[in-house]
Amino acid sequence: MKSLAELEAIRQKTLDKVAMRKDTEDGIRVVVGMATCGIAAGARPVMLAFLEEINKRHLTNVTVSQTGCIGVCRLEPMADVMIPGQEKVTYVNLKPEMVPRIVAEHIVNRRPVTEYAIGAAEKQ
């Protein structure tokens, strides 16, 4: 960055992206548990996999964020997927290689991947 004009262009581009996400009625949220327990279990690569897959598919209506402890440390890494009009789904025991399927089936096609969700994990 060499000038104030370049800085202003970057600022405006970022503000446009934020506004675009706020304006979508279909705002989907992915929240990854990134407390100490989640990080120790491998949550960071899982979060990076969500970001990579969402960017690869150019899904502008999806935001990925992090939170502290979701509350069931033995099932970490965990992520909540919240789609307007649907129940929240909590995915557990995640690995980065599971993320493309969650994005394709749940986020894109609106069909939760039940075998990765908390109910299925508790039956094991």
pLDDT tens digits, residue range 59-94? 999 999 999 988 889 999 999 999 999 999 999 999
pTM above threshold 0.85: no
Q: What's the pLDDT at 70?
A: 81
15 in a structural domain:
no
Q: Is the pLDDT of residue 115 over 70?
A: yes
Structure tokens at 45: 């690569």
Nearest-angstrom CA–CA distance, 29 and 61: 9
Query: What's the residue count for the chain?
Result: 124
Strand partners, 41: none
Domain count, the chain: 1
Q: Which amino acid is at 92?
A: V
Nearest-angstrom CA–CA distance, 10 and 8: 5
H or E element: which one contains 31?
strand 28-33
Q: What's the pLDDT at 29?
A: 95
Q: Identify whether the C-beta of residue 78 lies closer than 8 Å to the C-beta of residue 37.
A: no
CATH number, residue 66: 3.40.30.10
16 in a structural domain:
no
Kindly state the DSSP code that residue 103 receives in the 8-state scheme.
I
14 in a structural domain:
no
Position 23 confidence tier, pLDDT thresholds 50, 70, 90: very low
11 in a structural domain:
no
18 in a structural domain:
no
> Residue 50: which domain range?
27-123
